[in-house]
Structure 1
Amino acid sequence: MSDFLPKEVREGLELARKRDLKRRSRLRVRVGDETYPILRSWEDGFALDRDNADHLRGLVDVYDGTRHLYQALIVASTDDGHEMSFEFKRATPASDKPPLDYLRAEDAPVALLGRD
């Protein structure tokens, strides 16, 4: 059906689709000071708008709103004209606590009180 539509109408529909995907998605990719909205995501990758993300590669941080999900090493995999797809070479989940070298008991004390 899109073969019968004029070029301007197809471009307008594509812009509306991108705007809707950007508005709905809370997922973001952060590289340095730049932030890019994720249009689609799957288990081992994600897709960004082609217009502003064709140069990305390397180490990025992925956020859901303000929550840091993981740090990932990415490579560009597919370019379909409107979207650029990226694949994870590595995705390390982010944690707000340092890793422990041992199993911590659930009833362990949080801190010790000194004698005064």
Structure 2
Amino acid sequence: MSTYVSKEISDGLNAARIASLKKASRLRVEMGQEYFKVLRLWKDGFAVEAETTPRLRGLVDLYDGANHLYQCLIIASEDEAGEMRYEFKRNTVAADKAPLDFYREPDAPIALLGKDG
């Protein structure tokens, strides 16, 4: 029995695998004003479709739907099986408010009310 698979069949299997990953993933990467679907995400990087996504570089933002997850500095790693893989040089969790430079008591009042009169 031969384990040889023709190029056409291999390309078809890769295209079907990538289409399945694109359909299942809610993740996307934003560079400038453009968004691209993220196929896979792991601790040190992520992968996008190589054929439809231009080469990314520099500072990008990762989203899960509408939720901003990370702001990342990336470098291209490798192009394999229809995926372009990128590694994080820096990966910072996105926050919806500025960090405090002091300790806030958990039961502290939100605002102070003045007395009338």
Normalized against structure 1, the TM-score is what? 0.89
Partner of 1:78: 78
Within-5 A mapping of 1:1-116: 3-4=4-5, 6-116=6-116
- Higher helix proportion, which one? 1
Number of positions where the alignment pairs a residue of Structure 1 with one of Structure 2:
115
Equivalent residue letter for 2:91: A
Q: Is the 8 A contact 2:15 2:82 kept in 1?
A: no
Q: Deviations over 1:14-64 (max 9, x none)?
A: 222111101111111011111111111110101110013341100000001
Q: Which runs of 5 or more residues in structure 2 are unaligned? A: none
> Which structure: larger Rg?
2
* Contiguous gaps of at least 5 residues in structure 1: none
Secondary structure at the aligned position of 2:105 is classed as: coil
- Residue 102 of structure 2 aligns to which amino acid in structure 1? Y
Backbone CA RMSD of aligned residues: 1.7
* TM-score normalised according to structure 2 size: 0.88
The separation in 1 between residues aligned to 2:18 and 2:58, in whole angstroms, is 24
Structure 1 SS opposite 2:104? coil
Could you give the per-residue CA deviations for residues 47-96 of structure 1, whole angstroms, max 9, x where no partner exists? Answer: 11001334110000000111000100000011114111100000111001
The answer as to whether partners of 1:54 and 1:84 remain within 8 angstroms in 2 is: no
Moved over 4 A (4+): none
**Within 1, Cα distance between the matches of 2:23 and 2:11?**
18
Identity %: 54
Q: Classify the secondary structure of the residue corresponding to 1:51.
A: coil
